[in-house]
């Protein structure tokens, strides 16, 4: 139990002491990505090895004898593509290992834990250079980590390690040295803007809630990161759950709320587990509950799991879902700050926004304003995915250009591909191309080009991606996820999808492009909620930037990326074909003919373009022509 500020400081000191008493820490990445590649087994193996080595103690008090070795599960270490990731930390010296297998653990232990060597073959290598320390790896060195500063460095399930890393310093500063109004002012001055996509100033929102006559208020966190291709918020909830909670507690103090809710999407079971663990531990220590640290401040945290509805990422739909209703948006006003959860004034921010709060309170708004751009201070996390060399979780100052993100941090395209476009902002975002690579990314600059920063999904696409098909893909997503309440979104997305499907199937007409544009504009202007309004953006943006591809599909019946099935033409290379007849036997349409041991032929008029022949050819003789 921690009952006062003094006791919190003492707990912090003793946590720091025990952290300093480690001779060596084995940090096993336990983000969703690395767990998928088997890091849990690596963790168990290291536990076993360390536990079975004479002279090594893994469960110890600061003054116990023996070498103190800790085996810890951390949050995302960043380079997900190269998992499972393991770091060996001795004081300030950290070695990053990649693609670690169970069979490598003993060697790592003998080389880097009990001795001070390095297993060269497991280091991160780029362009022939090996990097020892994670901070030297170009992918990480070029980032600015504020929200993600603890991710990958500490045990994500340990309150003590969070304390030792400076956790709850901001909260106690707010609680004991600042009035609630000062906290709101500081956030307002920092210029922190909501990181969920809209970019609404957080300080303004807090001020409005704090100024309401109704005294029962709520603090709600939107962790319903529904954009496909985005996993930043999930990584924060898994990797540094205490920081999110601390941010929400500060918000609670600032606006006079006693209850916080985190709405987490159902597909993130690990986030739910880590948050539950953190809340339980905080409750046990009386850091959550009534009269926190002996003051009058009471704050309770609740977790709600989503149930698979994308629309619940919209504020009023999210609160409806917490209340146990269908997650449908409602007309505004009244806005969430006036009548949000249970029709009470509600601060609703997303995970990344709250995770920025502790550091702003601790280091001040001037410090925060020194990062990023004038209009959008601070950093932004992005999940960098698609056909790019280094996929993973990144954080950069606002104002960084796409070129720096894709080529410096991301290492350029995968397999030497050619950059075609980057999809930014998820299904409600747009595409940017070569010509936009040097635009500094912030909320305003991107809007000019018909895209949005959104929550921070960046999906890089190379020339094997068909932009018409991508537009169809996003439309099929938004159409499926449309809640059906307002007609423009419900009917509009359906009609746009039909047209896109028609074009992709090779039956498009030129008039379809005008129809598509007209419906898109109508939905953009008339839909009820933000999700509906932004649903046509992928269509509008691809129509603007890749109109020639649409026209090729319609006029020439050609898909240059060779993706659209209806436009693929399968051909047999007579040089490579051995005449084995396997393709002919497997063709469901009997479109392939030929003599035994002589090159076969595909009749394009009969071919149903299923690709079974290509899949079955042992000689690689069948290819697709655009």
Partner 1 sequence: MLDQTFYQKADEIIAFYGKKPASLIPIMQDIQGEYRYLPGELLTYVAGQIGITEAKAYSVATFYENFSFEPKGKYVIKVCDGTACHVRKSAPILEKFQKELGLSAKKHTTDDMLFTVETVSCLGACGLAPTVMVNEEVHPKMTPEKVLELLQELRGEKG
Q: By the criterion CB under 8 A, which residues form the site for partner 1?
A: 32-33, 35-37, 79-81, 83, 225-231, 234-235, 266-269, 304-305, 307-310, 321-328, 383, 385-387, 391-393, 423, 426-427, 457, 459, 461, 465, 470, 473-474, 477, 481, 483
Q: Which is nearer to partner 1, 161 or 240 (CB)?
A: 240
By beta-carbon proximity to partner 1, the closer residue of 58 and 406 is: 406
Signed CA dihedral, 366, 368, 373, 375: sign only = negative
Alpha-carbon distance 576 to 619, whole Å? 7
Residue for token pair 């999700």:
531
Q: Which one, of 262, 208, 265, lies nearest residue 231 by Cα?
A: 265
Nearer to partner 1, 228 or 364 (CB): 228
Closer residue to partner 1, CB minimum distance, 119 or 610: 610
Tally: H helices and E strands in the chain: 24, 20
Specify which residues 259 forms β-bridges with. Answer: 218, 300
- Rounded Cα–Cα distance for residues 103 and 332 (Å): 58
Closest separation between CB of residue 106 and partner 1, Å?
24
Residues in the chain: 626
- Given the complex with partner 1, which of 160 and 549 has the nearer CB atom? 549
**Who's near 459: CB < 8 A, 6+ residues apart?**
229, 385, 386, 422, 423, 424
* Residue 182 C-beta: closest distance to partner 1, Å: 34
Provide, rounded to whole angstroms, the least separation between the CB of residue 175 and partner 1.
29
What 3-state DSSP class applies to 24?
A: strand
Question: What's the gap between Cα 507 and its chain centre?
Answer: 37
Which of 56, 48, 30, 49 is closest to 158 using CA atoms? 30
Per-residue CA distances from 83 to 38, 274, 460 (Å): 8, 20, 20
Report, in Å, the least distance between residue 186 CB and partner 1: 32
* Strand 259-264 versus strand 124-126 pairing type: unpaired
The Cα 543–Cα 535 span in angstroms is: 14
Q: How far is the CB of 31 from partner 1 (least distance, A)?
A: 8
The minimum distance between CB 290 and partner 1, in angstroms, equals 19
Whose Cβ is closer to partner 1: residue 24's or residue 500's? 500
What 3-state class would DSSP assign to 393? strand
Return the number of the residue (172 or 385) whose C-beta is nearest partner 1.
Answer: 385
Least distance (Å) between residue 59 CB and partner 1: 29
* Min CB(193)–partner 1 separation in Å: 24
Nearer to partner 1, 192 or 264 (CB): 264
């Amino acid at each position: 139990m921690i009952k006062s500020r003094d006791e919190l400081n003492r707990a912090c000191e003793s946590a720091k002491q025990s952290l300093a008493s480690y001779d060596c820490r084995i940090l096993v990445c336990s983000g969703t990505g690395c767990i998928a590649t088997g890091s849990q087994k690596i963790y168990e193996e290291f536990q076993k090895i360390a536990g079975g080595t004479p002279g090594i103690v893994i469960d110890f008090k600061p003054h116990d004898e023996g070498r103190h070795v800790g085996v810890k599960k951390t949050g995302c270490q960043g380079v997900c593509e190269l998992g499972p990731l393991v770091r060996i930390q001795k004081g300030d010296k950290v070695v990053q290992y990649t693609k670690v297998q169970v069979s490598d653990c003993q060697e790592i232990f003998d080389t880097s834990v009990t001795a001070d060597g390095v297993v060269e073959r497991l280091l991160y290598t780029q362009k022939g250079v090996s990097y020892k320390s994670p901070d030297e790896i170009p992918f990480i060195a070029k980032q600015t980590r504020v929200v993600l500063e603890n991710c990958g460095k500490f045990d994500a399930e340990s309150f003590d390690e969070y304390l030792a890393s400076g956790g709850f310093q901001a909260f106690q500063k707010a609680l004991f040295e600042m009035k609630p109004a000062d906290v709101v002012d500081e956030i307002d001055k920092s210029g922190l803007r909501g990181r969920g996509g809209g970019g609404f100033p957080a300080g303004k929102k807090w001020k409005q809630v704090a100024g309401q006559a109704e005294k029962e208020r709520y603090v709600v966190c939107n962790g319903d990161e529904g954009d496909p291709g985005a996993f930043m918020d999930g990584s924060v909830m898994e990797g540094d759950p205490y920081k999110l909670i601390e941010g929400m507690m500060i918000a609670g103090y600032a606006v006079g709320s006693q209850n916080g809710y985190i709405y987490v999407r159902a597909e993130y079971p690990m986030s739910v587990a880590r948050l539950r663990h953190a809340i339980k531990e905080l409750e046990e220590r009386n850091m959550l509950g009534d009269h926190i640290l002996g003051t009058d401040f009471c704050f309770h945290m609740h977790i709600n799991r989503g149930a698979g509805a994308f629309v619940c990422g919209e504020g009023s739909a999210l609160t409806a879902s917490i209340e146990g209703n269908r997650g449908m948006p409602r007309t505004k006003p009244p806005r969430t700050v006036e009548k949000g959860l249970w029709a009470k004034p509600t601060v609703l921010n997303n995970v990344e926004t709250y995770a920025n709060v502790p550091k702003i309170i601790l280091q001040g708004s001037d410090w925060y304003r020194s990062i990023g751009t004038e209009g959008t201070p601070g950093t932004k996390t992005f999940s960098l995915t698609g056909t790019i060399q280094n996929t993973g979780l990144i954080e950069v100052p606002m104002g960084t250009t796409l070129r720096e993100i894709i080529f410096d941090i991301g290492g350029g395209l995968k397999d030497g591909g050619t950059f075609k476009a980057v999809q930014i902002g998820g299904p409600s975002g747009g595409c940017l191309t070569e010509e936009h690579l040097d635009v500094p990314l912030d909320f305003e600059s991107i809007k000019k080009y018909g895209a949005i920063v959104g929550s921070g999904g960046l999906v890089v696409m190379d020339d094997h991606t068909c932009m018409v098909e991508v537009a169809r893909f996003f439309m099929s997503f938004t159409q499926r996820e449309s809640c059906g309440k307002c007609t423009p979104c419900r009917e509009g997305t359906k009609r746009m999808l039909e047209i896109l499907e028609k074009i992709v199937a090779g039956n498009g007409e030129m008039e379809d492009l005008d129809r598509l544009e007209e419906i898109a504009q109508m939905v953009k202007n008339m839909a009820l909620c933000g999700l509906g309004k932004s649903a046509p953006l992928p269509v509008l943006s691809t129509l603007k930037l890749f109109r020639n591809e649409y026209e090729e599909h319609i006029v020439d019946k050609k898909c240059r990326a060779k993706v659209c099935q209806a436009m693929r033409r399968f051909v047999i290379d007579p040089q490579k074909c051995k005449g084995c007849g396997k393709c002919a036997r497997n063709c469901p349409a009997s479109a392939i003919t030929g003599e035994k041991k002589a090159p076969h032929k595909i009749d394009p008029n009969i071919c149903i373009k299923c690709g079974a022949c290509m899949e079955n050819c042992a000689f690689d003789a069948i290819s697709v022509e655009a």
